[in-house]
Structure 1
């Protein structure tokens, strides 16, 4: 993710918008070093698979997540 200050953004806006459009690059715009806006390409919402592709193979399930936990925690 690229970061740029508001003052530089004004002079390079067209170039940066082309970068966002062609390469799906996101740009964080800062004001005095603090992030204020993210510029990203408008598109269809990503599928769940696309959102979590980086996590594939890193998450491990040790039990069925839908089973009740009464035995473990006791009845309330």
Structure 2
């Protein structure tokens, strides 16, 4: 369940709100002039990911792999 509080209420009751989030695990949305701006939620440590898994499907196309990346490069001999 998400709860919404204004910035001014959060400022006055920040410690109480943070303790409630820790205990309940529920998110609190901080609003500014009625529009959501921030979310306070419990921290969850992510499991480390395999670098190959992070890059999987990240290449959209692979055309001419031997072409120069830029015309500005010099070939050193």
Specify if TM > 0.5. yes
Return the offset for 1:45: 3.9
Provide the C-alpha distance between the structure 2 equivalents of 1:45 and 1:17, rounded to a whole number of angstroms. Answer: 21
Count of residue pairs brought into register by the alignment:
46
Provide the C-alpha distance between the structure 2 equivalents of 1:3 and 1:45, rounded to a whole number of angstroms. Answer: 26
Gaps of 5+ in 2: 48-77
**What's the secondary structure of 1:25's corresponding residue?**
coil
Q: How does 1:1-76 map to 2 (within 5 A)?
A: 1-45=2-46
Structure number having the greater helix percentage: 1
**What's the secondary structure of 2:29's corresponding residue?**
strand
- TM-score normalised to the size of structure 2? 0.56
**What's the secondary structure of 2:44's corresponding residue?**
coil
Gaps of 5+ in 1: 47-76
- TM-score normalised to the size of structure 1? 0.57
Larger radius of gyration: 2
Return the offset for 1:39: 0.4
The aligned counterpart of 1:72 is none
**What's the secondary structure of 1:36's corresponding residue?**
strand
Runs of 4+ in 1 over 2 A off after TM superposition: none
